[in-house]
């Protein structure tokens, strides 16, 4: 059962969905700021979000939407250096599979890559289940990408993660043919290599991958 809170210093305004990068299906949104405070009782937020989106739901979201997902890591790509010195950034792509077998690529960069380097390096081999929050949809590259708000949990204690464990064990045991993963990734590389401008900082990366197929 929920609890009532009296909250002061909030702003009610029209829902600027595309501007604020939120997927809120309502005419208005409630915005908190540094002046917002809650009377007496302290707020205790759950460790993980209750609802995690499927890949199908993510695909229907507007560009730059923040989403929370969970999936089995079925592919782990090499490190890439994106951009030019001195602003070049270390970047890596992993592929998640949800409970319905749908695939989505997640671009990992910044602290989410560096701080979890060992965990990421073992994810493909042991088919880790990863719960990721506040990933941002990037329509240009057809993927999700980590943000400064992203949190990651490896093999978390969450109902949606537990539901994936049986599938994970079957993949490890070789009971599921994973050839479709390779086909999905190669098709994406080919589309991006041919569709991106040669001036795009990732064009060279995807072109090289497409040629290596």
Q: Which two tokens stand for residue 185?
A: 């990734």
What pLDDT does 18 receive? 55
pLDDT number for residue 1: 47
- 3-class SS at 25? coil
Tell me the pTM: 0.80
What are the structural domain ranges in the chain? 7-38, 55-211
Predicted pLDDT at 89: 85
Residue 35's pLDDT is what?
80
Nearest one of 97, 47, 94, 92 to 69, comparing CA atoms: 97
pLDDT of residue 103: 97
Query: Would you say 36 and 10 are in contact if contact means Cβ atoms under 8 Å apart?
Result: yes
pLDDT of residue 29: 76
Pairing mode of beta strands 37-38, 66-76 = unpaired
Residue 141 has what DSSP assignment? T
In CATH, 55-211 is 1.10.645.10: no
Give dist(CA 192, CA 168) in Å, integer.
Answer: 29
Tokens of 175: 């009971």
Q: Judge contact between 142 and 195, C-beta under 8 A.
A: no
How many Cα atoms occupy the beta-carbon half-sphere of 82 within 13 Å?
Answer: 16
Averages of pLDDT over runs of 10 residues in the chain (213 residues) are 75 67 65 76 73 93 93 91 80 95 95 84 85 94 93 94 96 95 95 92 89 81
Place of tokens 């701080």: 115
H or E segment and range at residue 93? strand 89-97
């Amino acid at each position: 059962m929920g609890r009532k809170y009296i909250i002061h210093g909030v702003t009610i305004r029209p829902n600027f969905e595309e501007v604020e990068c939120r997927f809120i299906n309502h005419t208005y949104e409630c915005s908190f700021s540094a002046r917002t405070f809650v009377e007496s009782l302290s707020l205790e937020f759950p460790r993980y979000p209750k609802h995690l989106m499927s890949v199908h739901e993510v695909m229907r979201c507007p560009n730059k939407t923040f989403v929370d997902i969970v999936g089995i890591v079925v592919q782990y790509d090499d490190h890439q250096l994106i951009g030019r010195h001195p602003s070049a950034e270390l970047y890596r792509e992993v592929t998640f599979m949800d409970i319905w077998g749908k695939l989505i690529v997640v671009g990992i960069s910044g602290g989410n890559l560096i701080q979890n380097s060992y965990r990421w390096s073992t994810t493909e081999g042991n088919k880790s289940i990863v719960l990721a929050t506040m990933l941002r949809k990037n329509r240009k590259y057809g993927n999700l990408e980590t943000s400064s708000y992203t949190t990651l949990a490896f093999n978390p204690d969450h109902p949606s993660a537990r539901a994936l464990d049986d599938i994970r064990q079957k993949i490890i045991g070789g009971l599921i043919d994973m050839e479709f993963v390779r086909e999905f990734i190669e098709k994406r590389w080919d589309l991006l290599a041919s569709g991106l401008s040669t001036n795009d900082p990732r064009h060279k990366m995807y072109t090289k991958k497409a040629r290596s197929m």
